[in-house]
């Protein structure tokens, strides 16, 4: 999977290290019914806890570990790490990806 990191957050990421993991955070979207849960990708510094479930990508000198179940929405575009939007669950958003 190709990755790109927005230029305006590279310095912030560099202060936290060179290795990051995309984790899937569960958001209960329907008041408890597990069939409606949403998994939101969140970027955090460091290695994955269970590396056997992750693949590895490179972008602008950073290493990004991401879950094997993550795929590109648009195969012609890279996964993009950018500053989180107003309604995000983390500090950085990962766009153009979805869970299989």
Task: Give me the CATH number covering residue 9.
Answer: 2.60.300
Residue 71: closest CA among 41, 40, 100, 43 = 100
What is the model's pLDDT at position 11?
92
Going by C-beta distance under 8 Å and a sequence separation of 6 or more, which residues neighbour residue 29?
A: 36, 37, 38
Q: Which domain holds residue 79?
A: 3-99
Residue 65 near residue 52, CB atoms below 8 Å: no
Going by C-beta distance under 8 Å and a sequence separation of 6 or more, which residues neighbour residue 3?
A: 57, 58, 59, 64, 78, 79, 80, 81
pTM, two decimal places: 0.85
Structural domain count, the chain? 1
Q: Rounded to whole angstroms, how far apart are CA atoms 27 and 30? A: 9
With pLDDT > 70 as the criterion, what percentage of the chain qualifies?
Answer: 85
């Amino acid at each position: 999977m190709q990755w790109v990191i927005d230029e305006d957050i590279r310095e912030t990421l560099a202060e936290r290290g060179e290795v990051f993991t995309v984790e899937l955070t569960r958001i209960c979207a329907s008041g408890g019914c597990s069939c409606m849960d949403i998994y939101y990708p969140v970027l955090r510094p460091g290695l994955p806890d269970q590396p056997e479930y992750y693949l590895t990508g490179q972008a602008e000198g950073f290493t990004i570990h991401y879950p094997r179940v993550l795929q590109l929405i648009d195969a012609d575009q890279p996964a993009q790490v950018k500053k989180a939007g107003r309604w995000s669950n983390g500090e950085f958003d990962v766009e153009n990806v979805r869970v299989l």
